[in-house]
Amino acid sequence: MRKPIIAGNWKMHKTIAEAVEFVNEIKGKVNNTDVEAVICAPFTLLKDLKEATKGTDIKIGAQNMHYEDNGAFTGEVSAPMLNELNIDYVVLGHSERRQYFNETNETVNKKVLKALKSGIDPILCIGETLEEREADKTKDVCKVQVEKALENVSKDDMKKVVIAYEPIWAIGTGKTATAEQANDVIAYVRDVVKGLYGEEISEEVRIQYGGSVKPANVSEIMNQTDIDGALVGGASLKPADFVELVNF
Ligand code: G2H
């Protein structure tokens, strides 16, 4: 059975003080042991978040990572640096990074491989634009993104990959894909994974939905057959909402 994973993606939000206050407010309230709760935060918050969540089951993730261990890459952070903080997850290939920071399927693939080699579980983001959806290309786009991002990922490592399907037109726009629309694409993505890794692995891999998930729609989304969790931006920033999301 796949353990659902609800991950907050804080994007470029919160100071250290705000992050620690957030954890203090949710501590003891996030009590759905059937769900894995994760906070993916800016680099500056990671150390304090690890510290603040000690003794809880809340996992901490970064939102990006370079594929080299070190070097002349101004502004970047590497896997060994995240390892030093015992970071559990890293969001890779988020559409905002693809759109604003030239992230490509090739760089995402290198990062996925490095994360897995480093013991950091990747949350691999995929999803189509509005134009692609309207041109009926959603599944083709997702297939290519999955295949390219997973090139050379072994069967064993694949079990650790979380895929997040985030239709770009539903991100931060208030427009959510209907639960059925999301489930349909996610079931297709599972089929793509099956084609690459076989049935057993495809049944183990967790696939989240992301895009304007909030307490009001989380249970409908989570009740779908193939959706194993949510990657939540805006609605994960308020402690009370985060608690409601995880305890859905
Ligand atoms: C999609 C999502 C989190 P939001 O980017 O990854 O953000 O929930 O604000 O649409």
* DSSP-derived secondary structure for 164-213: EE--GGGSSSS----HHHHHHHHHHHHHHHHHHH-HHHHHH-EEEEESS-
As a dihedral over the C-alpha atoms of residue 180, residue 34, residue 20, residue 9, rounded to 10 degrees, the angle is -20
Write out pLDDT tens, residues 122-163: 999 999 999 999 899 999 999 999 999 999 999 999 999 999
Write out pLDDT tens, residues 14-63: 999 999 999 999 999 998 999 999 999 999 999 999 999 999 999 999 99
**ipTM of this complex prediction, to 2 decimal places:** 0.96
Catalytic residue among 36, 103, 128, 166: 166
Atom of ligand 1 nearest to the CA of 166: 1
- Output the average pLDDT for the chain: 96
Q: Given ligand 1 and candidates 6, 208, 213, which is best to mutate, with the most ligand atoms within 8 Å of its CB?
A: 213
Write out pLDDT tens, residues 105-114: 999 999 999 9
Concerning whether 151 is annotated as a catalytic residue, the answer is no
Strands 5-9 and 36-40: parallel
Task: Output the known binding site for substrate.
Answer: 9-11, 172, 212, 233-234
- Amino acid identity of residue 190, one-letter, is R
Atom of ligand 1 nearest to the CA of 235: 8
Write the CB contacts of 187 (distance below 8 Å, at least 6 apart in sequence): 225, 226
Cα(223)–Cα(213) distance, integer angstroms: 13
Q: Indicate the DSSP class of residue 26.
A: H
CA angle in degrees (0–180, nearest 5) for 38-191-108: 50
Cα(221)–Cα(213) distance, integer angstroms: 8
Concerning whether 94 is annotated as a catalytic residue, the answer is yes
Average pLDDT over residues 208-231: 96
Beta bridge partners of 210: 231
Could you tell me the pTM of the whole model?
Answer: 0.97
Question: Quick check: 1 pLDDT over 80?
Answer: yes
Write out pLDDT tens, residues 154-204: 999 999 999 999 999 888 787 778 999 999 999 999 999 999 999 999 999
| pLDDT for 54 | 97
Q: Indicate the DSSP class of residue 84.
A: H
| pLDDT for 140 | 98
Residue ID of nearest Cα to ligand 1 atom 2: 233
Protein residues with CB under 6 Å of any ligand 1 atom: 9, 166, 171-172, 210-213, 231-235
Note whether 107 and 63 are within 8 A (CB).
Answer: no
